[in-house]
Amino acid sequence: MNHEASDDSWHLAGVAADFEDEDVEQLWVGDLAIAVYRAEGQFYATQDLCTHEHAYLSDGVVVDCVVECPFHQGRFDIRTGKALGAPVIEPLETYPIKIVDGRLYVQVTEEQARSDAGSRPQTGLDALRLKKDRRP
């Protein structure tokens, strides 16, 4: 196995053969949502949360190397993270991706995973826990 893929910052994202062209899948690393794409035969990874609104790009549409946000049709280049026009203006964070023995790995450091804390939606149990913690 490639030593780089066994580094703690590399996270299994799936099996390369399971992705068709223009597929996108969501991966969670801690509280950070990552979108993993296959486009034009290559693999890419970006933050999954749109920089315009709280929408997951993994719920959007990929055409060529562009993902379109499902909320307001903002578009991003998945290769670079570049915002391609209104309403999005802030670029996406991108992450290195490797294939080792047919498996996809995305590099996300512990610091990066914590930097976007709060992107994970609350479950009903989390909401109950919060209410309980706020009781006098």
The pLDDT of 32-38, averaged and rounded, is 96
The pLDDT of 33-39, averaged and rounded, is 97
In this predicted model, what pLDDT tens digit does every residue of 83-117 receive, in sequence order? 998 899 999 999 999 999 999 999 999 888 887 65
Q: How far apart are CA 131 and CA 93, in angstroms?
A: 33
pLDDT confidence band for 120 (50 / 70 / 90): low
In this predicted model, what pLDDT tens digit does every residue of 2-25 receive, in sequence order? 434 557 899 999 999 999 999 999
Angle, CA 64 vertex, CA 27 and CA 18 arms, to 5°: 45
Q: Which domains, ranges and CATH numbers included, belong to the chain?
A: 3-134 (2.102.10.10)
Alpha-helical regions (H) of the chain: 3-6, 110-115, 124-134
Q: How far apart are CA 28 and CA 82, in angstroms?
A: 22
pLDDT value of position 115: 72
Q: How far apart are CA 93 and CA 95, in angstroms?
A: 7
Mean pLDDT of the chain: 84
Nearest alpha carbon to residue 66 among 55, 78, 58, 49: 78
Whether the pLDDT of residue 123 is over 70: the answer is no
